[in-house]
Amino acid sequence: MALGAVEAVYEANKEDDIRVYGVDGDMNMLYSVRNGRAAGTVYHDAIGQAEVTIDNVEEYIEVMEKYG
């Protein structure tokens, strides 16, 4: 979606007024950032977030069992 936004911004000649950021660290978006067409992107690590969530839930259960 962000790549489409980048194209729309350039078609509207608004690249100096609007900055576009993406999510998921898509390779094409990374190229767009490198070429100066997009402002940035981040990598959304769904698996890593799920692992941390499971760890937190396990820890919460342990604490609740110990302290009620």
Question: Residues 37-50: pLDDT tens digits?
Answer: 999 999 888 999 99
pLDDT at 25: 84
pLDDT at 3: 94
Write out the residue range of the structural domain in which residue 30 sits. Answer: 2-67
Rounded to a whole number, what is the distance in angstroms from the first to the last CA of the chain? 46
Number of structural domains the chain divides into: 1
pLDDT tens per residue across span 11-64: 999 999 999 999 888 899 999 999 999 999 998 889 999 999 999 999 999 999
- Say if residues 38 and 22 touch (Cβ distance below 8 Å): yes
Question: In the Cβ-directed half-sphere of 25, how many Cα atoms lie within 13 Å?
Answer: 5
For residue 2, the 8-state DSSP code is H
Task: Copy the structure tokens of residue 4.
Answer: 């489409």
pLDDT at 17: 97
